[in-house]
Chains A and B, each alone.
Chain A
Amino acid sequence: MTRAPESEALLRVVELTTEFLGDDATVRAVDHVSFDVKKGEMLGIVGESGSGKSATSLSIMRLLPPQGRVTHGSVELAGANLLALPEARMRELRGRRVAMIFQDPMTALNPYLRVGEQLIEGAVLHLGMSRADAQTRAAALLDRVRIPDARARLRSYPHELSGGMRQRVMIAMALLCDPELLIADEPTTALDVTVQAQILELLSELRRERGLSILLITHDLGVVATTCDRVLVMYAGRVVELAPAAELFARPLHPYTAALMQSLPRLDAKPGAPLESIAGMPPRLDQGPFRECSFAPRCRFVHDACRVADPPLTEAGPERLRRCVLPLEKLS
């Protein structure tokens, strides 16, 4: 496996495995997922709906719903295993060193509390600031994420803001205590295209400005292409490919990644041409370990070797990993 030198990795996830206990079956939503996020790096995680992206991020934050359990692996933040921390210590860390923003900024903000009230909470809690100081800090940050008339906005309720403004508020809220790592779970999915671009641009700026590490989760390869340094592709709860963004787009080494790219709308496509999407459904995750390649039922390149066993994750060049047994030259 390709790994950054110890000193550079801020977050190190090793063989993370997360399961949801259902009434009659256990769903393995995250299956031995390993990756690093370096200091100042933006790592993208892409995958279809249900591939375990949110389960991964919630496992890192230890905010899984009651049915969810991390059953294996470790999550290290600057060397300390988060999964072993007592809950009280973990709570001190949430919002302070690791912050999170979510997909739908309408439902993620509390409709009953003023924006300012929600914004300053972290600073009062973690930094021991007075309410007045926290408000000044919050207003400055709102200003930084380009919310006009920031002081006045502190008194607004979430429903009085547009979707894009709400997501900016979420970002400001996440950055209030100067965290080292920001986990953004589909931060732009609920927004329209122009606003999406603005938010991504803002995240990139803030990263450069503050040396922030970002874990950007999305099901949109297009989003990752423009903003991330490296990309992790997930399928059925597992890592199927890991590569620097530019290389991934120049040459995907896993048929699933290739298929995802094909489903992207292309600039040179004829107007009105139908988008290709990947035929078939992701496999069920409650049937125990896979005995063949998990992508086999949907793969264009499926052959006998794929049916023998579930392929391991292997190196495929410098800084590249993939989970596929097809010889590289046959992939085109």
Chain B
Amino acid sequence: MSAVEVGAIAAGVGMLAGVAWLPPKATRVIGSIFGGALVFGVARGGLGVTGGVVAGALLAVLLARFGPNTVLRRVTFLLPSLLLLVFVTTLLMYHAPGSPFAGEKVATPQVEAALRAHFGIPKSAVEFFWIYVRRLVVDGSLGPSVKVQGRMVETLLRPALPVSIALGLLSLVLAAAFGLALGIRAGLKPNSAADYVATGLSAIGLSLPSFVIGAILIVIFSLKLGWLPVAGWGDLRHLVLPAVTLALPYAAYIARLARGGTIEVMSQDFIRTARAKGVPEAAVVLRHALKGAILPVVSYLGPAAAGIMTGSFVVETLFGIPGMGQWFVRGAINRDYSMVLGTALVYASLVTAFNLVVDLAYAWLDPRVRSDA
């Protein structure tokens, strides 16, 4: 690695550390500006430059006025982290053996130089980084794909994105629903039969890798029972098995968290107060205990979403689903730099957006976070 590269990484990490030290006042301002800028970047594609500016300014004002501190801090981190993500990914791709043009028969030095100029892929990683970022900011484009010639990365990803989002969201909803139901039931009656069943299921779910679970599910529900398609894409039924496969380990872990949270909350003094008021047990659980019991689960949803996104590479491949995972895998194999960076950026944005929602949900659930963070 060159001195410039090392220095740039150090600067990026230093910048993130610096953000961590900023007082809430500063992150409120910077976060609002960054948030507005990001919305401009995303909205520009659909609404044009004027629409983008309006949407960005609107969000910046909303954030500055109503955003909880945790959310603004996260947004402040976002822009430097995305830059660092692009830079480090670029370095990794350049330092890995091979190049987008290595396999081409035509690649005489002159032809390769022409191709490199055409696609904006110079020999130096740092130069590539600048070209890439400049194109992203100025044109709002993820760059041309080298392998699918004549197409931009964003046009290729656009149809794949909803597929991946649908799969990811369905998995997350399944994981949360089953995990919470199982875990809360278990936590309300620790050491009961329901608790042992939940704890046992959770241990199994956590120890089996997803491709094993997937294979077992295919054998049972597709091959033996014939209820669901083996693989492929078309309607919702194609989504069931992959989503369940993806969700299982997360459901297991969420069950564990929910059980712990429930036991913890139910032992609190305020639960006794509620009972002393004559509140029926169902209302004690739903009104007084539920919020506190699911807080540990809510803070885990962010990491869970990231895990489900990365897990979907495997599952999409296993079930032949035309989502972003396939573009990422193909991009990596073909050394299609822009494609790899594009998928990485989209995944990172999705995970961050989701984390923001989680932060908001947490602040909504716990009034103490809302006021003193």
Query: What residues of chain A have their CB less than 8 Å away from a CB belonging to chain B?
Result: 61, 63, 91-96, 99-100, 102, 104, 107-114, 121-122, 125-126, 157, 159-160, 170, 173
Contact = CB atoms under 8 A, between A and B. Distances in A.
Interface string B91-106: 0000000000000000
Contact of B276 (A94, A114, A159): A94
Contacts of B329: none
B174 to A, nearest CB: 26
Contacts of B291: 112
A110 B278 contact: no
B139 interface: no
A230 B365 CA distance: 46
B270 A108 contact: yes
Nearest to B268: A107
Contacts of B8: none
Given A107-B268, A108-B270, A94 B278 contact: yes
Given A112-B365, A114-B367, A126-B278, 5 more contacts: A91-B280, A109-B273, A111-B366, A113-B287, A159-B372
A113 B291 CA distance: 9
B169 interface: no
A112 B367 contact: yes
Given A107-B268, A110-B273, A112-B291, A157 B278 contact: no
Contact of B274 (A110, A157, A170): A110
Contacts of A109: 270, 273
Interface string B257-286: 000000000001110111111111000000
A269 B252 CA distance: 63
A63 B274 CA distance: 11
A111 B276 contact: no
A92 B372 CA distance: 38
A157 B367 contact: yes
Contacts, number: 71
**Listed residue (A91, A92, A110) with the most chain B CB atoms within 10 angstroms of its CB:** A110
Contacts of B288: 110, 112-113
Contact of A110 (B270, B280, B371, B372): B270
Given A125-B277, A159-B367, A112 B269 contact: no
B366 A95 contact: no
A122 B273 contact: no
A96 B273 CA distance: 13
Nearest to A112: B291
B277 A63 contact: no
B65 interface: no
A61 B291 CA distance: 26
**Listed residue (B270, B291, B366) with the most chain A CB atoms within 10 angstroms of its CB:** B270
Contact of B272 (A102, A113, A125): A102
Contacts of A94: 275-278
Contacts of B278: 91-96, 122, 125-126
Given A112-B366, A112-B367, A157-B367, A125 B279 contact: yes
A160 B368 CA distance: 9
Contacts of A111: 270, 292, 366-368
B269 A108 contact: yes
A108 B277 contact: no
B368 to A, nearest CB: 5
B161 to A, nearest CB: 36
Contacts of B280: 91
A22 to B, nearest CB: 15
22 contacts: A61-B276, A63-B272, A63-B275, A91-B278, A93-B278, A94-B278, A96-B278, A99-B277, A100-B273, A102-B269, A107-B270, A109-B270, A110-B274, A111-B292, A112-B292, A112-B365, A112-B366, A113-B288, A122-B278, A125-B278, A157-B367, A157-B368
A114 B268 CA distance: 17
Contacts of A112: 288, 291-292, 365-367
Contacts of B268: 107
A172 to B, nearest CB: 12
B45 to A, nearest CB: 40
Contacts of B287: 113
Interface in B333-373: 365-368, 371-372
